[in-house]
Amino acid sequence: MTQSYEVFLGCSIPNRFNNYESSMRAVAEALDIELLDFDGASCCGTVVLKSIDETSWLALSGRNIALAGSRGHDIVTPCNGCFSSLKDVDHVLHSHEEHRRQVNATLKKLGLEFSGDVKIRHFVEVLYDLKDQIEDKIVHRLDGLKIAFHPGCHLIRPSPVAEFDDPELPRKVDELLELTGAQSVPWGLKLRCCGSPLLISSEEVATSILKEKMESAREAGADCVVTNCPACHTQFDVQVLGMKDDEGVSLELPALFVTQILGVAMGLDRERLGFDLNRVSLAPVAEKLGLQ
Amino acid sequence: MTETWGQLKSFEGKEFSTLDKNFTREASKLIGGQDLTACFQCAKCSAGCPVSDKVNVQVHELMRMLVFGLKEVLDTDMVWLCTTCYTCQERCPQGIDITDIIFGLKNMAFKEGKTPQGYIVSRKGLYDTGKLYEPTDWEREDLGLGDVPELDVEDTQKMFKDTGLMKLKEGDEE
Ligand code: SF4
Ligand code: SF4
């Protein structure tokens, strides 16, 4: 059965990671997931706007949800930040009568209403539903590839809002990755924040958190880091460039999106998976991924 | 530029004016603030916090300051160095929505002009364009991706006028 969603890209993916969008679309097509354009969307505001003014943040995501609702569609997003904004606002508007009234008063002037019956999902949630289908489509096995998978905070926490996986021992996306024959290795700081939300207030602290993460991934013997969020990916594929440990040894590890790993294992068009746009060199994993 | 946030570097020799019950009450009304006073100082929140070793005032201390009604909490670096990772909130044995409370404190601090510069810049960008980042066109073409669907800046701005986003503090201008 075809699943159909309006796809909420947010602004970080089109700004920096078109390879994520492109690989997501390729995987979605192969699995018969219909992704409709999200016309008239605004940015989700993410934790940035929530930090500045919760009233505006509630209205902004309230509007995005109401827009999809007015067209009778559910929402899917490949970004943890957007996922969190949309889910969190949905949660607040469901549980706080007062906030809901206030948001609806604002939305009314735009001819919209938050009715609360739109489903909001992360793209990896949709993929998890289709696990069996994905397994059937694996044509290029990635045996021996050791992945440090980084779920990202807002995919799993706070769990009553995210409603996706065990917040202390998440397994779902790891299961998907392991369908390819790759191994999702345990690593000490796996659940630790990547630090990206701090790039706006202190790059220094954001960087020190990232350094700890990279040391942990290396210690676990990972060949690469895999994410499902453009904000986390900014840390692992951009901010990490040139990063060294205290002995001067490079801490860079190839950084890939979940959809690039699944796409390559499903034998999808390499061009659309966008490997040329990954910043950290993929050379150490090129052979295992069959990129050579 | 001198930093306008994170001025409270240490409790050492610091004298606090009064314990302000109203401030505790105000904080309890924040989204997630309802169970604030149930904090029994186990410090589990700080144990798992990614910035505990990087801040002057840790999150369990921040919680204590709230219970004590110390408005100086808005001057701690913990407020803006909270990554919003929700680890503390997930684990608090008293079920306190710690991270959500910190979001509320950020809102309060922003209103007082105690905020990292980046947030002021982002607010303006969001108001002017309806987004925080611009799409990169050339890459999209190379990957065979279509244009990002148009954003409706006008409606978003209308809404922000309604919520007063650009006038959160006295002297703010659109
Ligand atoms: S974990 Fe909860 S109860 Fe324990 S110190 Fe932190 S806020 Fe207080
Ligand atoms: S949400 Fe903030 S205070 Fe809580 S553990 Fe994460 S960084 Fe620390």
Identify the nearest ligand to the CA of B58 by its number.
Answer: 2
Q: Quickly state the pLDDT bin for B173 (edges 50, 70, 90).
A: low
Q: How many angstroms does the Cα of residue A55 sit away from the middle of ligand 1?
A: 27
Class of domain B21-111: mainly alpha
Q: How many helices (H) and strands (E) does chain B have?
A: 9, 0
Residue owning the nearest CA to atom 8 of ligand 1: B39
Answer yes or no: are the C-beta atoms of A154 and A162 closer than 8 Å.
Answer: yes
Q: How many angstroms does the Cα of residue B68 sit away from the middle of ligand 1?
A: 14
Q: How far is A82 from chain B (nearest CA, A)?
A: 12
Q: Does B135 have pLDDT greater than 70? A: yes
Answer yes or no: are the C-beta atoms of A279 and A230 closer than 8 Å.
Answer: no
End-to-end CA distance of chain A: 36
Q: Does B171 have pLDDT greater than 90? A: no
CA angle, B15 as apex, B12 and B20 as ends, to 5°? 125
The verdict on the CB of residue B38 being under 6 Å from ligand 2 is no
- Residue B149 DSSP symbol: P
Residues 70-89 of chain B with CB under 8 A from chain A are: 80-81, 83-87, 89
Q: Which residue of B has its CA nearest to A213?
A: B50
Q: Which residue of B has its CA nearest to A152?
A: B85
Q: Write b or e for each residue in A129-141: b if 16 or more Cβ atoms lie within 10 A of its Cβ, otherwise e.
A: ebeeebeebeeee
Taking residues B92-117, report their average pLDDT: 97
Residue range(s) of every CATH 1.10.1060.10 domain in chain B: 21-111
pTM score, whole prediction? 0.96
- Residue A248 DSSP symbol: S
The verdict on the CB of residue B66 being under 6 Å from ligand 1 is no
B20 or A49: which carries more pLDDT confidence? A49
pLDDT at position A1 is: 57
Compute the distance between CA of residue A82 and CA of residue A182 in angstroms, rounded to an integer: 28
Q: Quickly state the pLDDT bin for B174 (edges 50, 70, 90).
A: low
Answer yes or no: are the C-beta atoms of A274 and A23 closer than 8 Å.
Answer: yes
Residue owning the nearest CA to atom 2 of ligand 2: B82
- Give the pLDDT confidence of B156-168 residue by residue, as tens digits: 999 999 999 999 9
Residue in A37, A110, A153 nearest the CB of B155: A110
pLDDT at position B138 is: 80
Q: Does B35 have pLDDT greater than 80? A: yes
Compute the distance between CA of residue A190 and CA of residue A176 in angstroms, rounded to an integer: 17
Select from B59, B76, B85 the residue whose CB has the most chain A CBs within 10 Å, as the one to mutate to test that interface: B85
Q: Do B83 and A153 touch (CB under 8 A)?
A: yes
Residues 11-40 of chain B with CB under 8 A from chain A are: 31
- Give the pLDDT confidence of B114-129 residue by residue, as tens digits: 999 999 999 999 999 8
Q: Quickly state the pLDDT bin for B2 (edges 50, 70, 90).
A: low
ipTM of the complex: 0.96
Q: Could you give the percent of chain B with pLDDT greater than 90?
A: 73
| Residues of B in Cβ contact (< 8 Å) with A15 | 133-136
Q: How many angstroms does the Cα of residue B36 sit away from the middle of ligand 1?
A: 9
pLDDT at position B133 is: 86
Q: Do B151 and A42 touch (CB under 8 A)?
A: yes
Q: Do A18 and B118 touch (CB under 8 A)?
A: no
B170 or B31: which carries more pLDDT confidence? B31
**pLDDT, tens digit only, all 292 positions of chain A:** 579 999 999 989 988 999 999 999 999 999 999 999 999 998 999 999 999 999 999 999 999 999 999 999 999 999 999 999 999 999 999 999 999 999 999 999 999 999 999 999 999 999 999 999 999 999 999 999 999 999 999 999 999 999 999 999 999 999 999 999 999 999 999 999 999 999 999 999 999 999 999 999 999 999 999 999 999 999 999 999 999 999 999 999 999 999 999 999 999 999 999 999 999 999 999 999 999 7
pLDDT at position A237 is: 98
> Any chain A CB within 8 A of the CB of B4?
no
Compute the distance between CA of residue B149 and CA of residue A53 in angstroms, rounded to an integer: 26
- Give the pLDDT confidence of B63-100 residue by residue, as tens digits: 999 999 999 999 999 999 999 999 999 999 999 999 99
Q: What structural domains does chain A harbor?
A: 3-122 (1.20.1050.140), 139-289 (3.40.50.11810)
B28, B41, B59, B100, best to mutate for ligand 1 pocket (most atoms within 8 Å of CB)? B41
Q: Does B17 have pLDDT greater than 80? A: no
Q: What are the residue ranges of helices labelled H in chain A?
A: 12-16, 18-30, 46-52, 54-70, 80-95, 97-108, 123-129, 131-137, 153-156, 159-162, 172-178, 203-219, 230-234, 258-265, 270-273, 283-289
